[in-house]
Amino acid sequence: FLAVFLGSHRLVFAVSPRWVNLPHKDYWLQPERRAVTQAMLAGWLGRMGTALFLLMAVTGLLAVQANQVEPARLDMPLFWTALGLFVVYTAGWCVGFYRAFRLPDRLSRSGT
């Protein structure tokens, strides 16, 4: 999962812009902003990929731990804690992502 997120920012410029879901994509996908957009996406997608990787790692470890006892029993409080932290992180990540890809103030005030 981590590799997919770490490399996915490159796909933004390999596919047609109509397949890209990015706030204000007409602005951010212009050729003169390509390097900045790609660097920003690399950072944001890398952080989300890391969070998803950690959730999957914790879930996998909990599954292994659950199967070492008879009868198999998942540590639900730890699972719900990990899942809750991931959901909270994802909500914050989404807010930050949309803020990072908003139009610059000079453009949003001029109405373009």
Banded pLDDT at 5 (limits 50, 70, 90): low
Give this prediction's pTM. Answer: 0.81
Task: Provide the pLDDT for residue 110.
Answer: 61
Q: What is the tens place of the pLDDT at every residue in 71-80?
A: 999 999 999 9
Q: How far is CA 47 from CA 4, 39, 40, 62, 75, in A?
A: 12, 13, 11, 23, 26
pLDDT tens-digit map of 49-69: 889 999 999 999 999 999 999
Residue with tokens 């957009």: 37
Work out the average pLDDT over 70-97: 97
- Give the integer Cα–Cα distance in Å for 76 and 62: 9
Residue position matching structure tokens 């951010």: 28
> How is the chain split into domains, by residue range?
2-104
Q: What is the pLDDT of residue 107?
A: 66
Give the number of other CB atoms < 10 A from CB of residue 41. 22
Q: CA triplet 34, 26, 90: central angle to 5 degrees?
A: 80
| 20: its two tokens | 């890209």
